[in-house]
Chains A and B, each alone.
Chain A
Amino acid sequence: MSRIDAPLRVPFTLLFGSAALWLTLASVFSLLAKVQLLPSGLGACEWFAHGRLEAAARNAFVYGWAGNALFALNLWLLSQLGRFEIRNGWMAAIGGLFWNLALTWCTVSVIVHGPGAYALLDFPAGAGPVLAVSFALAGLWPVVAYAKRPTGHNFAAQWFVVGASVAFLLAFVLAQVTVVWAPASGVVQAVAHSWYVRSVELLWLGGSALGFGYYFVSKVLARPLHAYYLASVAFWTYFLFAGWTAPAALIGSPVPLWVQSAGVVGCVMMLVPVLLIGLNLLGALSKEGGWSRAWNSTSLRFISLGLTSILASIVLAAWSSDRAVNAALRFTSFSEGQGVLLLYAGVTMCVFGASYAALPRVSGGRWPSAAAIHTHFWASLLGAVGTVVSAFAQVGGRSPDWAFVAAGSSALLLLGHLAFASNAFATLIGGGESPQSHPAHD
């Protein structure tokens, strides 16, 4: 455990521990939601209504798992890069605590009373302010770490993570106001909601994951990124265009044509940052056996998979924003597959990769079970592939066979996540006993 890692330990353990719990819970909900779609169903209990299970799974996954994990990992990463020693770690811990309490309340409310109309904004109105304040306490540390860095040095991973953190807070507050507290009129709510969802997916989650990508690709391969001087263009274009992709989710909907067209333009413009980021990261990976070295490093194996999925999903989004293509794909399971590609195969894989490197460093222990890492990788890879393929395969129409594949894939994911969570807990808790006795992980 280094000087920088030691004071991180308490908040990091709390945050990442909750993340692992939420991940498991989200997988249970999502498995139940998939089983609900099988011909046999899940019985008549109101709590098992498909809409409730799905909303609970989505909230637990995005805010519970990704949220907590990013609090922990973003803080860790920027402390590393900025040589920053956190002083008031208790603030992050308190923030995390309230974030998780509010989220628990939201989840219970979704299951017992039902979700709202808008995905990712369906909590009781009172929970919004609590979440916003907790985020400010737990999620803005990367900004502090960046501001306080002693050297004037700068690296792309820092921009992405700092940008992601401030973007989420702003998006969350604006969306709370325009959709929940003082709802905009009629269909404008739908426009605001689509903007919020895209900001969360691409800016907060995607942005942080890309930050991990910039860091680990260079670090593990021990080489500068390809065409790195383009990274700042990549970063700014990514942040400038991401939010404009939102109304592509509303093509054909009763919102004015110009709003829809702005979405199409946004989706296509995203190809610019995708190209540049691809050049930076996949370019570095493609040189001199980079991919095989990535495969041999636990972290980079997850992360290179995640990066490829994120970029692929943005390209797919551009393709499916074509009006003719969209006419055939909209309202089908295509968007489910697309979402899993971005948020699971993309973002979550990057988060897994980062945590394989970060946890042992912070706790001073090491991952106790190689078999669990093994299980985790294959189960989540196969589960992700199965989920995406079954979603894309049902674009033409739902079929019970593919619904079984989807449920099976969900079960695989749950298995992988159990392996990951138990292993992570062992690392977080077990490491403290003999901080210096094991080599830290990279």
Chain B
Amino acid sequence: MKNFRYLVLGALVATALPFTGLVVGSQAQLGSLGRAPAEEGGPLMPPLEPGQAVQGREVYLSLGCVSCHTQQVRPAGQGRDIAAGLGGRPSVARDYVLQPVVLLGDRRIGPDLANYGSRAKSESDVLAALRKPVHAPGLRFDADGKPDARVTALAAYLRSLRQDYSSPEAPLK
């Protein structure tokens, strides 16, 4: 019987320890993180999201775009993200404070989208990317190639994706 208690308690503690250390620990550090200016008196960053972008995120989520696209730029010493032009600086925790769910992603079948908004020059660039055959499932355009409401919202969301401002933790060079 004694054995039994040790075993169950021990296994529970062993499972919970990393949770306490990693999750509770980083929540204690980052839980109160908010928007901040890069320099005194500067604008608060990250910028607020336009309403259409908020709707667009729902579309992004529901079509599972996260299974092929990440939204994070690694530091220059950790992979080629910056060298490949995916961003001007590494992503930091503050960039994500406004997002209700964080779509960091884990796999890049398509390119990283953390800075897609600053890469895409115009609305039509975005729509052209969405018209590619890989993106066919779920994205509808009418006969003259006009996007439906969901695609429009999704495009607004994609254009809002940018980490091209200086952050207190990671200044733009």
Contacts and interface: CB of A to CB of B under 8 A. Distances in A.
25 contacts: A41-B136, A43-B137, A45-B138, A46-B63, A46-B138, A49-B138, A113-B62, A115-B61, A115-B64, A118-B101, A162-B7, A167-B14, A170-B12, A186-B30, A187-B96, A187-B104, A195-B18, A244-B17, A253-B72, A254-B104, A255-B26, A259-B25, A266-B18, A331-B107, A398-B109
Interface stretch (A93-101, A214-222, A304-312, A332-340): A332-340
Contact of A262 (B11, B21, B112, B133): B21
Shortest Cβ-Cβ A-B pairs, 7 listed: A51-B64, A114-B62, A243-B18, A252-B74, A51-B67, A46-B138, A163-B11
B18 A49 contact: no
Given A188-B27, A254-B92, A244 B65 contact: no
A83 interface: no
A246 B4 CA distance: 28
Interface in B1-18: 1, 3-4, 7-8, 10-12, 14-18
A250 B93 CA distance: 12
A335 B107 contact: yes
A26 B112 CA distance: 28
Contact of B61 (A116, A184, A243, A330): A116
A152 interface: yes
B106 interface: yes
Contacts of B136: 41, 43-44
B145 interface: no
A55 B22 CA distance: 26
B18 A239 contact: no
Interface in B74-89: 74-75, 77-80
B95 A114 contact: no
B115 interface: no
Given A192-B23, A253-B74, 13 more contacts: A44-B136, A47-B137, A115-B62, A117-B66, A146-B4, A166-B15, A183-B101, A191-B23, A195-B23, A243-B18, A244-B21, A246-B18, A266-B18
Nearest to B74: A252
B146 interface: no
Contacts of A185: 27, 30-33, 97
A187 B79 CA distance: 20
Interface in A90-147: 113-119, 143, 146-147
A415 B25 CA distance: 46
Contact of A199 (B15, B25, B66, B102): B15
A364 to B, nearest CB: 31
A254 B93 contact: yes
A41 B75 CA distance: 34
Contacts of A332: 107-108
Contacts of B61: 114-117
Contacts of A147: 1, 4
B15 A50 contact: no
A244 B16 CA distance: 10
A52 B64 CA distance: 6
Contacts of B21: 244, 262
B100 interface: yes
A41 B74 CA distance: 31
Nearest to A331: B108
A254 B79 contact: no
A336 B1 contact: no
A319 interface: no
B8 A162 contact: yes
A37 B133 CA distance: 11
B14 A243 contact: yes
Contacts of B10: 163, 236, 239
Interface of A is mostly: helix
B101 A189 contact: yes
Tell me which of B7, B23, B72, B75 has the highest count of chain A C-beta atoms within 10 A of its own C-beta: B23
Contact of A189 (B79, B102, B106): B102
Contacts of B31: 184-185, 188
A139 B139 CA distance: 41
B137 A42 contact: yes
Contacts of B93: 186-187, 254-256
B101 A117 contact: yes
A244 B75 contact: no
A44 to B, nearest CB: 4
A50 B137 contact: yes
A186 B99 contact: yes
**Residue with the highest number of chain B CB atoms closer than 10 Å, among A166, A187, A333:** A187
B91 A170 contact: no
Contact of B11 (A47, A239, A251, A259): A239
A265 to B, nearest CB: 11
Contact of B107 (A49, A113, A192, A333): A333
Nearest to A44: B136
A244 B106 contact: no
A341 B109 CA distance: 20
Contact of B18 (A114, A244, A328, A331): A244
B64 A54 contact: yes
B44 interface: no
B22 A191 contact: yes
B68 interface: yes
Nearest to A178: B23
Nearest to A249: B106
Among A199, A253, A259, A266, find the residue whose CB has the most chain B CB atoms closer than 10 A.
Answer: A253
